[in-house]
Chain A
Amino acid sequence: MADLSIDFCGVKSPNPFWLASAPPTNTGAQVMRAFEAGWGGAVWKTLGNPIVNVSSRFGGVDYGGMRMMGLNNIELITDRPLEVNLREMAEVKKRFPDHVLVASLMVDTREEWHEIIKKVEGVGCDAIELNFGCPHGMCERGMGSAVGAEPEVLEKLTGWVLEAATTPVIVKLTPNVGDITVPAQAALRAGAHAVSLINTVKSIIGVDLDSMVPIPQVGGASSNGGYCGPAVKPIALHLLGQTGQVFDRPISGIGGISDWRDAAEFIALGSTTVQVCTAVMHYGYRIVEDMIEGLSDYLDEKGMASVSELVGKASGQYKDWGDLDLNHHVVAEINEDKCIGCQLCFVACMDGSHQCIHIPGMDDDEKRQKGHVAFPTVVPDRAVTAVGGTPGARVPWVHEEECVGCNLCKLVCPVDDCISMVERRKGDAKETWNDRTRAGKDWVPGGLDATKKARGITD
């Protein structure tokens, strides 16, 4: 069984699964229940000057009958007295010395930072996370994402923290910026030991069309909140990938992680630990059992003895578009034994892609009417035979010469493994856009006609 323990900036964690700073880490009793369920670490609900919260606080997006594909919140940092939090943190650390306890902090002045760092390190926290990402409420007061969006301020405040901190310092980044590498580099310059990302994405979850108030409602009004949950995972993975290209220290990945596979993807793209919130808010701490088991089985299957071996394994394969091989070419292939004749691939290709999927039995006039632009002489006529297939339906056929290999038909096909993409290389050698422009064979300065000439196109 693979070793799931991990070293994060010198902090040892029994596994890479941490709870993100959020409602699930609001109290000591909660964190202790989470550790008992199997979570390796917890980032405490952000501590700072006392605030007052509103009611209500959360809004959800359902999709396809599933609840909470996305969640948004306008809750602020902890509304409990600092002393109570500190006392409970000390108790957690006493009862769970081998689990990781990270203090998330958000204060204003240099003196406040120094003061609060002393207090949290005094109760035994293993690391400090700087909340430079909260995109609602606190940012209006010059904290949270207001800091994360200003690299110079971020650098200065991180510097203040490092003056006082004796434990590793993690800067939590906000996705609400144009280029994540700018704040990531500012954190690096300041000397942060690690970054965590992403915090929530600025959002309005919806509008109540009866009351004409956005959601969630507070009295007769609402405010923008922070979006999280499965919906933000692709955004988080991208920002993680980008950050990893400029930040060569440990990263704690956050954003829509709900199961072991999500976690494995974040780790493969460069996270050393992962932080989870929405999935726990939805289903409870119990989901960690599946995460531990699934990740462990996956590592065993891949012959990896430790989760450390997975960290960053996919990072090298995340590249700029200009470095992708233009001679790599795939075409769709439809398995006639599995096709049920629903024609979703056909309509997707006709209306959403390159009109290369044909339904057998049409003459050229019908094809033209349907929108085809190429007219193959033979379209194989195959009857649908799969279980659940439409009686009398024909299996659509891919005109390979016209197929650009976009994947759309495969994505919309409701049957597993019915459509597969098979390789038809355009050339043996690898050639990228960057290769072509460097060789003067493609885009060149000097206008459209100059590029046309460089490409060897004559009228």
Chain B
Amino acid sequence: MSAYSVPDTRLEAKLGDKKPAYTRAEAIAEANRCIYCVDAPCVKACPTSIDIPTFIHKIRTDNVKGAARTILSANLLGYSCARVCPVEVLCAGDCVYNEWERPAIQIGRLQRYATEVAMQAEPDLVARTKKAPTGRKIACIGAGPASLACAGHLALEGHSVTLFEKKTVPGGLNTLGIAPYKLQATDALKEIAFIQGLGDVQIKTGVGVVCNHAKDDEVDAVSLLEDFDAVFIGIGLGPDNFMGIEGENGPGVVGATYYIERLKSHPDLTLDGIKNVVVVGGGNTAIDIARQLALLGVDNVSMLYRGEAAKMPGYGHEMDGARRETVRLVENRQPTKIVRAEDGSLIGVEVAVMKDKKPVPGQTEVIEADLVAMAIGQSRLTDLAAAFDGVDLDDRGRVLVDEATCRTGHAQVYAGGDCVNGGKEVVNAAEHGKRAARAMHAAFAEG
């Protein structure tokens, strides 16, 4: 049982799983399809290098706990990754079956089966392997996937970890940003309880870490180095970007991740009266919010992308899903103005027709909207990381780290996840957390 909760009345609770859990028979039947490759392309495609053929072989022999051990030893967030990973472009995308024009092995669903069943049967499956306390203390800034993975691996080595989370619910995007038909906030919180069960993992929610000017409920970032042996920066990305066009500030125009967070955690958000939604952007966040709103019953959900559909950054399989759920993609359009009535209420979005991502002069149109969601990227929380001596950022505001260790220019400061890679998958964050944890453990061993 998690110490944290989200209200049962939140909107996401209305949505079911796109890929329901396998029964034992289904899992074994699917596992038996796997040819148990030795030099398996799926393993190479997994950012955390899970030994996929081995865990699938173990499902086949009904050694489900063993399958879970294989998964979790490489990725402690194996349960949520099973549900949220875009397997179509990662492990399953590289399955040899694709080339044979046979359906790829359902690796995500098998991984969910193994982790879900094993953790249900034996919650301390992994925790039993934890080592004696070492007295080492690590602070993680942010309690998203990167920090959680880092904390879990460190805790198993006997180190003591404290996560500082400015929101009231931990988990970062895993709890508050994942499309509900993949993973609900409640399930993400269960996984956090699992991570906390691995050892000494404290989470301080509602505590922001800032540079300078720490208020009562805030902690000064650099001062963490006085109380902890190492610091992991897993702060993700900042608030949603906006376009800076006329009429943008006002009711009805929201940031996409902000709104998704509300769908996943707000007790009484409703979509009453919302019939036309315009989502601005062509990335995965744009597709996510469009799909969620369509599935929650909004009649017309349109995505605006400034270029050609074929060049959209969002995944093709996700866009295909969105189309099936009635989302309309309008390509070669860019908002130029938010159109409002005299009383300020939203009327729609004025868009320019684009060619090669440039406006065609004189060609604009207005698309009616009750809600406009901006999904054009998120800002960087650069100041916080840069507050540490020796921590550098690249020209796009990403924290610079050594790839193998996730160590920054400061010997005691590590970083990972979206703040390092600019915004990738949960599994990439999990890998960063693991690398940082292993590097810290090795550094402690060296003294």
**A residues at B contact (CB < 8 Å):** 66, 258-261, 283-284, 286-287, 289-290, 293-294, 297, 415-416
Contacts and interface: CB of A to CB of B under 8 A. Distances in A.
Interface string B12-53: 000000000001110000001000101000000000000000
Nearest to B55: A290
Contacts of A415: 25
A289 B54 contact: yes
A290 B58 contact: yes
A254 B69 CA distance: 29
A290 B38 contact: no
Contacts of A258: 61
- Secondary structure call for the A interface: helix
A286 B54 contact: yes
B54 A293 contact: no
Given A259-B60, A416-B25, 6 more contacts: A258-B61, A259-B61, A290-B58, A290-B66, A294-B58, A294-B62
A294 B61 CA distance: 8
Contact of A293 (B36, B38, B60, B66): B66
B57 interface: yes
Contacts of A416: 23-25
A289 B61 CA distance: 12
B25 A290 contact: no
Nearest to A292: B66
Contact of B57 (A66, A290, A297): A290
A287 B65 contact: no
A53 to B, nearest CB: 26
B24 to A, nearest CB: 6
Contact of B36 (A261, A283, A289, A294): A283
B66 A294 contact: yes
B23 A261 contact: no
A415 B29 CA distance: 11
B163 to A, nearest CB: 31
Bin chain B's interface residue count. Answer: 10 to 19
B63 interface: yes
A340 B38 CA distance: 37
A284 B38 CA distance: 9
A260 B24 contact: no
30 contacts: A66-B32, A258-B61, A259-B60, A259-B61, A259-B63, A260-B61, A260-B63, A261-B61, A261-B62, A283-B36, A284-B38, A287-B57, A289-B54, A290-B54, A290-B57, A290-B58, A290-B61, A293-B58, A293-B63, A293-B65, A293-B66, A293-B69, A294-B58, A294-B61, A294-B66, A297-B63, A297-B65, A297-B66, A415-B25, A416-B24
Interface in B106-142: none
B32 A290 contact: no
A290 B56 CA distance: 11
Interface of B: 23-25, 32, 36, 38, 54, 57-58, 60-63, 65-66, 69
Contacts of B62: 261, 294
A59 B66 CA distance: 32
Contacts of A260: 61, 63
A416 B29 CA distance: 11
Contacts of B65: 293, 297
B17 to A, nearest CB: 13
8 closest pairs, A vs B, by CB?
Answer: A416-B25, A259-B61, A294-B63, A293-B66, A290-B58, A297-B65, A290-B63, A290-B61
Nearest to B60: A259
A275 B357 CA distance: 67
Nearest to B125: A297
A297 B68 CA distance: 13
A66 B28 CA distance: 13
Nearest to A387: B20
Contacts of B23: 416
B340 to A, nearest CB: 47
Contacts of A286: 54
Nearest to A287: B57
A294 B65 CA distance: 8
A286 B57 CA distance: 11
Nearest to A295: B63
A342 to B, nearest CB: 14
Contacts of B69: 293
Contacts of B24: 416
A255 B32 CA distance: 21
A455 to B, nearest CB: 43
Contacts of B38: 284
A166 B62 CA distance: 42
Contacts of A290: 54, 57-58, 61, 63, 66
Contacts of A293: 58, 63, 65-66, 69
A122 B38 CA distance: 38
Contacts of B66: 289-290, 293-294, 297
A153 B66 CA distance: 47
Contacts of A297: 63, 65-66
Contacts of B54: 286, 289-290
A284 B25 CA distance: 26
Contacts of A287: 57
Contacts of B63: 259-260, 290, 293-294, 297
Contacts of B61: 258-261, 290, 294
A39 B36 CA distance: 20
A297 B69 CA distance: 12
Contacts of A283: 36, 57
A293 B65 CA distance: 9
A284 B36 CA distance: 10
A213 to B, nearest CB: 29
A283 B57 CA distance: 10
Contacts of B36: 283
A369 B367 CA distance: 66
Nearest to A338: B23
A415 B25 CA distance: 7
Contacts of A259: 60-61, 63
A290 to B, nearest CB: 5
Which of A258, A284, A416 has most chain B Cβ within 10 Å? A416
A416 B65 CA distance: 20
A248 to B, nearest CB: 32
A297 B25 CA distance: 20
A70 to B, nearest CB: 17
Contacts of B57: 283, 287, 290
B28 to A, nearest CB: 9
A195 to B, nearest CB: 27
Contacts of A294: 58, 61-63, 66
Nearest to A284: B38
B176 to A, nearest CB: 31
A297 B58 CA distance: 12
A92 B164 CA distance: 54
Contacts of B32: 66
A38 to B, nearest CB: 13
A284 B54 CA distance: 12
A261 B60 CA distance: 11
A287 B32 CA distance: 15
A258 B58 CA distance: 12
B218 to A, nearest CB: 46
